[in-house]
Amino acid sequence: MEWMVKANEPGKTYLLQGNEAIVRGALEAGIRFAASYPGSPASEIMAMLGRVAGEMDIYAEWSTNENCAFQACMGASMGQVRSLCVVKQNGLLTIGDALHTAALSGCKGGVVLLAADDPNAHSSTNEFDSRHQARAAGIPMLEPATFQEAKDMMVYAFELSEKLQQVVMVRSVTRICHGRGNVTLGELPESPSQPLPIGEWDRLVAINWFHDMLFAKLDQAQAEFENAPFNGYSGPENPELLIITSGTGWLYSVEAVEALKLEDKVGILKLGTTWPLPEKLVLKYLEKTSRVLVVEEVDPVLEQNVASIIGHNPGLNVSLFGRYKKSALPQSFELNPDVVINALATLMNTEYQPRQTGEVPAEAVVNIPPRDLTFCAGCPHRASFFLLKQTLRIHEGNGVVMGDIGCYTMGGQRAGHFLLHSVACMGAGINMGEGLGQLSRFGFDQPVVALAGDSTFFHSCLPGLVNARYHDANMLFVILDNSATAMTGFQPHPGIDINCMGQPANSISIEKVVEAIGCPVVVADPYEIEATTQIVYDLIKQPGMKVLILRQPCATLAVRTKGRRKVWVDPELCRGDECGCGRFCSKTWGCPGNIWDYEAGKAKIDEVVCIGCGVCATLCPAGAIKVEEGGAV
């Protein structure tokens, strides 16, 4: 909770979310500047910093993209101010070049890069292990294993960053970020860090000449890490099997050892500082065992670093197990206590039987329908995909649609009538569209459509739009403008006139940007399905680069600000299955607000879920769906 994060109660223990613990840690470290782009599992961090910014006298920014965020932090760092940049794993890859050059130039005021990974990709397209980047860029890295560490490591990281004049990564994962647990608060600083004047020769310049210096900083970090409070061993003096673990792997390993009752045979070396590894510490425990299991998320990064130590110390006699080549753990997807228990049981040749439920006779087993994701009730994307699908079917049914990242990525599924031909990363839609659209010169004549949300547009489509216009691609670029970065929690973006801290901001008109670039642009309302179908149809027939903005606010946001409008089915008019429409509203339109009353045999509106957009009423062939007049939407 926000008040816990701000509380001036050192020593008090609260239940904090991992993200909240990170915020608290950053505040205790005295940050003054924070920048991020929304991305699960880390979105809550900047959202909370934005809310407390006024009171805590800091600056918090939802940057247009992660590059802006990270480089802004580097800029603030030049003013000797402590800066926090928060990214998810995909965002970390976005700032690849920026990160590597920053590592070369170093920083002034402490810069901590909080990289939040999403093992299992619960809310991501892929599961990428950010730790590779720390090693690749040559910056020190910490991994919290508990919520307490998530807080404490922030303070440690900022101090380290300033000592080394180097960017420090703290790498968290979903189970820490979104989990909650006990966190004992520390002290908030009297006053946060003040900007200091920058002298003529105070520089942050990335030149390769500094490459050796980068390594020197790493060596310095390593020396610090040998005594860091986040590393420690528990277990027998000479364990039969040594678990080396970091991050969430630690608590799973502890639980596994307990579950298998192997406390006197298996030791656990927990590491919180994982790049560079405190080699002396690791060696000390490697020497005491002949078998090592490395437990970590997502990739065998720690494992391969340990393997490197083993390889450089030929005197050791150690067999190494872990995720590499699935030698003990799966090579992909998330860890959990069961996975680790099973791996440990196999390695230690013991049995583990989880507690069982009662037996269920075959005829009592219920067939549970899966719960697929779909657009929220009233979502404008549902209308957009519906009209795009029907327009492309009208246009000989052979249009190619490039998707992008956001709620509308679900348009590749049933919710969007399987419209998308491609999904990659932010900004990919327009670029892939441009490439395919160029093939018209070779006789390719299928219509090319690319999608992007409004936040995605600002994040990464601007160069793509310029490129497509400059090269006059034959394509239609559709911007789905729902006035929010919805998928990640309705954060504002440059098209919105308030900022992260709730203050007024200079919103930027998407259509003016598009016009300035020189593309013909049309703005239409996706709720007006028939009229907009005609617009899309006409645009597709034109050659060259065209832009269409489908503008209607996100339904979930609209309902919070404007309230709901009543929609209901008149049972006298609904013809039920006799209609022959095949339950068009619930099956084909597919809004969760349109349900079927199995008893009455007619369509029905779920009033708990319906927000009142009224689009289904325009589709019902019997005109049985009624909408309250004069309502909000």
Measured CA to CA, the distance from residue 93 to residue 502 in angstroms comes to: 29
Judged by phi (left if over 0) then psi (alpha if -120 to 50, else beta), residue 165 lies in left
Query: Which of residues 137, 344, 581, 617 is near another protein by CB under 8 A?
Result: 581
Structure tokens at 314: 């030929």
- CB closer to another protein, 14 vs 70: 14
Footprint of another protein on 541-570 (CB under 8 A):
541, 556
Footprint of another protein on 221-250 (CB under 8 A):
248
- Return the residue matching tokens 């052979």: 398
- CB closer to another protein, 248 vs 431: 248
Using alpha carbons, select from 573, 565, 551, 554 the residue that is nearest to residue 481.
551
Q: Smallest distance, Å, CB 621 to another protein? A: 4
Using alpha carbons, select from 18, 19, 60 the residue that is nearest to residue 37.
60
- CB closer to another protein, 73 vs 86: 86
Cis amide linkage into residue 41, ω under 30° from 0: yes
Measured CA to CA, the distance from residue 592 to residue 151 in angstroms comes to: 40
Footprint of another protein on 43-82 (CB under 8 A):
none
Query: Which of residues 196, 205, 373, 600 is near another protein by CB under 8 A?
Result: 373
Name the amino acid, one letter, at 592: P
Structure tokens at 351: 């049995």
Cα Rg of the chain (Å, integer): 28
- CB closer to another protein, 319 vs 588: 588
Query: Which of residues 11, 199, 504, 580 is near another protein by CB under 8 A?
Result: 580
- CB closer to another protein, 71 vs 253: 253
Cα four-point dihedral sign 188, 189, 193, 194: positive
- Could you say whether residue 466 binds another protein (CB under 8 A)? no
Name the strands in the sheet holding 232-234, side by side, starting at the edge strand that comes first in the sequence. 232-234, 266-271, 241-246, 291-295, 319-321
Measured CA to CA, the distance from residue 161 to residue 167 in angstroms comes to: 6
**Using alpha carbons only, what angle is made at residue 335 by residues 302 and 229, rounded to the nearest 5 degrees?**
50
Across 37-109, the runs of DSSP E, i.e. the strands, are 59-62, 83-88
Query: Which of residues 584, 610, 615, 624 is near another protein by CB under 8 A?
Result: 584
- Could you say whether residue 358 binds another protein (CB under 8 A)? yes
Measured CA to CA, the distance from residue 549 to residue 559 in angstroms comes to: 22
- CB closer to another protein, 30 vs 553: 553
- CB closer to another protein, 160 vs 340: 340
Structure tokens at 116: 């939040």
- Could you say whether residue 590 binds another protein (CB under 8 A)? yes
Query: Which of residues 11, 370, 504, 543 is near another protein by CB under 8 A?
Result: 370
Judged by phi (left if over 0) then psi (alpha if -120 to 50, else beta), residue 609 lies in alpha
47-78 as b/e: b if 16+ CB within 10 A:
bbbbbbbeebebbbbbbbbbbbbbbbbbebbb
- CB closer to another protein, 217 vs 381: 381
Measured CA to CA, the distance from residue 205 to residue 223 in angstroms comes to: 26
Single out the segment in contact with another protein by CB under 8 A; choices: 108-116, 229-237, 252-260, 492-500. 252-260
Query: Which of residues 159, 240, 338, 525 is near another protein by CB under 8 A?
Result: 338
- Could you say whether residue 362 binds another protein (CB under 8 A)? no
Single out the segment in contact with another protein by CB under 8 A; choices: 196-204, 231-239, 500-508, 619-627. 619-627
- CB closer to another protein, 446 vs 556: 556
Footprint of another protein on 97-136 (CB under 8 A):
118, 122-123
Using alpha carbons, select from 49, 50, 42, 30 the residue that is nearest to residue 66.
42
- Could you say whether residue 498 binds another protein (CB under 8 A)? no
- CB closer to another protein, 507 vs 556: 556
Q: Smallest distance, Å, CB 504 to another protein? A: 28
Footprint of another protein on 7-46 (CB under 8 A):
13-15, 17, 40-41
Site string for another protein, 256-275 (x = CB under 8 A): ---x----------------
Size of the site for another protein (CB under 8 A): 89
Single out the segment in contact with another protein by CB under 8 A; choices: 370-378, 424-432, 509-517, 565-573. 370-378
Structure tokens at 144: 């919290």
Q: Smallest distance, Å, CB 413 to another protein? A: 9
Query: Which of residues 6, 180, 265, 421 is near another protein by CB under 8 A?
Result: 180
Q: Smallest distance, Å, CB 603 to another protein? A: 11
CB 296 within 8 A of CB 322: yes
Length of the chain in terms of residues written: 633
Q: If 0-12 CB within 10 Å is exposed, 13-18 middle and 19+ buried, where does residue 144 land?
A: buried
Largest CA distance in the chain: 86
Footprint of another protein on 595-614 (CB under 8 A):
595-596, 608
Footprint of another protein on 383-422 (CB under 8 A):
389-391, 393-395, 397, 407, 410, 414-415, 417
Query: Which of residues 185, 251, 306, 343 is near another protein by CB under 8 A?
Result: 251
Measured CA to CA, the distance from residue 10 to residue 6 in angstroms comes to: 11
Q: Smallest distance, Å, CB 95 to another protein? A: 22
CB 527 within 8 A of CB 614: yes
- CB closer to another protein, 207 vs 365: 365
Footprint of another protein on 140-159 (CB under 8 A):
146-148
